[in-house]
Structure formats: structure tokens, C-alpha cells
């Protein structure tokens, strides 16, 4: 009996030690001090700067170049003056829209955070705030994806294929650069 008690005690001690270790490093540790709990400082900075933050991935990784990266690769892509100007305009419009929507998203996330922090939230308020955030995120993603959609009309097939290679997306199988309608 003494041996069974020792084994049970050792097992319990092991489980408790494991639980304490897990409790010492929760996944959100340190995030409780954030100004807005759901957004990191880099998220806030990126949103205010109009950065892509992954919103354009569906387009980018399927052969629809983004204007920012096209501008960065303008020499390698041999953009002509008209393509350069159109791309600069696309980028400026997208960036302005993204900055504005990013600021709106931060404000909406702050409102949700404050509702929880002040214990002034119920199911109806939660639904309203989350729907507001969802609408803004939808508009933000659309702004980024639309810029990719418009950019593909500015480039020719060879430039798109080269872009995909330069960005490191195109393997030997040729996936990524699909046939699109372009203004040449």
C-alpha cells in the first residue's frame, strides 16, 4: 500500500508541476498590457501606414502583383513611363484608402477593448461592435485586393511572370502567373 501511495503522490506531483509550468507561460502573456489588447504595436503601426498586412495574399500569390512591389521592382520589370505613372497612382489611392480604413479599424478595436475593460458589454453591444470591425476589415481587404486586381491590367504577361519569379513565388512548374486580361 505504501508503494501505491508513493506512486500516486509522484504522479500527482508531476501533474501539478506540469500544470504550473504551463500556467507560467500562457499564450497571451504580456499582451494584457497592450493599449488595445487585440492589436500589437506593429499591427497599429502597419494599419496607420496603410501596409498590406497580408490582406492582398489571395491576389499576390495567385499572379496578381501588388503596386507597392511593382514599384520596388520597376527597373527589373522594365516599366515604361505610362506603366510607372499608372502604378504610382494605384499605389497612392490604395495607400490613402488603407490608411483611412486602418485608423477606423483601430478605433473600432479600441471601442471593443474599452467595452470589455469597462465591463459595459452585453450580447447586443458585442454583436454591433464585432460587425463594425468586420465591415471595416472587409473594406480594408477589398482596397488591397482591388489594387492587385487593377495592377494586373497595367502589366503584360512577361512582366507578371518575371514579377512572380523576382518575388520568389514561381517554381519550375510555372504556377502563379495565369492568363489575365491586360492593357499592353
**Which tens digits make up the pLDDT trace of 5-31?**
766 666 655 656 555 555 567 888 888
Q: Number of C-alpha atoms within 13 angstroms, CB side, residue 70?
A: 32
Task: Give the pTM.
Answer: 0.79
**The pLDDT of residue 174:** 44
To the nearest whole number, what is the mean pLDDT of the chain? Answer: 88
Q: Is 53 left (phi over 0), alpha (psi -120 to 50) or beta?
A: left
**The pLDDT of residue 78:** 98
Would the pLDDT of 182 be above 60?
no
Specify the higher pLDDT residue, 174 or 126. 126
Amino acid at each position: 500500500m505504501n508503494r501505491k501511495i508513493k506512486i500516486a503522490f509522484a504522479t500527482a506531483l508531476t501533474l501539478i508541476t506540469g500544470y504550473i509550468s504551463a500556467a507560467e507561460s500562457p499564450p497571451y502573456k504580456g499582451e494584457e498590457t497592450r493599449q488595445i489588447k487585440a492589436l500589437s504595436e506593429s499591427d497599429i503601426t502597419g494599419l496607420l501606414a496603410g501596409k498590406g498586412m497580408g490582406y492582398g495574399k489571395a491576389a499576390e500569390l495567385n499572379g496578381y502583383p501588388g503596386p507597392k512591389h511593382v514599384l520596388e521592382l520597376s527597373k527589373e520589370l522594365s516599366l515604361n513611363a505610362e506603366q510607372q505613372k499608372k502604378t504610382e497612382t494605384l499605389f497612392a489611392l490604395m495607400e490613402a484608402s488603407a490608411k483611412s480604413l486602418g485608423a477606423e479599424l483601430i478605433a473600432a478595436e479600441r471601442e471593443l477593448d474599452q467595452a470589455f475593460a469597462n465591463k459595459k458589454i452585453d450580447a447586443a453591444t458585442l454583436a454591433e461592435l464585432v460587425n463594425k470591425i468586420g465591415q471595416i476589415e472587409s473594406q480594408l481587404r477589398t482596397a488591397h485586393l482591388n489594387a492587385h486586381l487593377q495592377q494586373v491590367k497595367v502589366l503584360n504577361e512577361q512582366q507578371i511572370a518575371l514579377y512572380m519569379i523576382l518575388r520568389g513565388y514561381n517554381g519550375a512548374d510555372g504556377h502563379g502567373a495565369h492568363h489575365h486580361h491586360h492593357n499592353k
